[in-house]
Structure formats: structure tokens, C-alpha cells
């Protein structure tokens, strides 16, 4: 699952995922509310969540905590997806239970390279 409000990033992300494997299924959510609703409905289908750190409305920290608090989500890895690579932000995300922190790259093949170890 990808939670990102940026349509371009959604597209690039989907392209990257398709490049890795056509069998992978992507659920795209535009905001945290949508994501939370879907996860509460069918949690079992999600293997990994990519969360954009800068979403409108709630802050990344809040959403991260909300996601973690959903039952059954405790062990699902949540990977932070962000433009920034700020050390402090990263540390805080890890402290709150994020599994990884990927800076949004400006090359498709770099994104593919970043996602491959996670999705295979």
C-alpha cells in the first residue's frame, strides 16, 4: 500500500513496482483517512505500507502512530517515503516503529533499486 497525495509520485511508484514484478498488487491511498479505512476493512491483504511523510492534514508522526495502533498491523512493515533526508526526522520515525526510510529518488531506476529488496 502506498499512502501519497502526489499523483506523479503515485504513477512513478506504480511504474517502479510493475518493473519489479507484475504480480505485485498496489493499493493507492490519497490520504491517511482513506488508508486507515481500507486497512481496518481488509488488513490481511497488505504486506507493506509506504507512507509519504508530508501529507496534508495530519503529520507523518501521527499517521505512523495511527497505523501502528490498528490491530493486526503491529507486524506489518511501514516504510517512510519522503523528499527529505533529514537525520532527526529519520531517527524519530524509526523510534516510532518505522521499518525503513526511503528518500524519494529522482531516477526511476534508483527507486526500483530501493524497492526491490523490500518487495521481493
Give the binding site for another protein (CB under 8 A): 6, 8, 12, 54, 83-84, 86-88, 104-109
Closest CB 106 distance from another protein, rounded Å: 3
Long-range contacts of residues 64-69, Cβ cutoff 8 Å, at least 24 apart: 64/93, 64/96, 64/97, 64/98, 65/96, 66/32, 66/36, 67/35, 67/36, 67/39, 68/96, 68/97
Closest CB 105 distance from another protein, rounded Å: 8
Closer of 53 and 76 to another protein (Cβ): 53
Closest CB 54 distance from another protein, rounded Å: 7
Q: Tell me the C-alpha distance between 65 and 47, whole Å.
A: 18
Residue 117: other Cβ atoms inside 10 A: 9
Closer of 42 and 88 to another protein (Cβ): 88
Closer of 65 and 108 to another protein (Cβ): 108
Closest CB 17 distance from another protein, rounded Å: 15
Q: Cell 518487495 appears where?
A: 119
Amino acid at each position: 500500500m502506498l499512502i501519497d497525495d502526489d499523483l506523479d509520485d503515485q504513477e512513478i511508484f506504480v511504474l517502479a513496482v510493475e518493473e519489479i514484478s507484475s504480480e505485485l498488487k498496489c493499493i493507492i491511498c490519497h490520504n491517511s483517512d482513506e488508508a486507515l479505512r481500507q486497512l481496518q476493512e481488509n488488513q490481511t491483504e497488505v504486506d507493506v505500507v509506504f507512507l509519504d511523510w508530508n501529507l496534508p492534514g495530519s503529520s507523518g508522526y501521527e499517521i505512523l502512530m495511527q497505523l501502528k495502533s490498528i490491530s493486526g498491523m503491529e507486524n506489518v512493515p511501514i516504510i517512510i517515503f519522503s523528499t527529505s533526508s533529514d537525520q532527526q526526522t529519520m531517527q524519530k520515525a524509526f523510534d516510532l516503529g518505522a521499518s525503513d526510510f526511503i528518500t524519494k529518488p529522482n531516477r526511476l531506476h534508483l527507486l526500483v533499486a530501493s524497492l526491490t529488496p523490500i518487495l521481493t
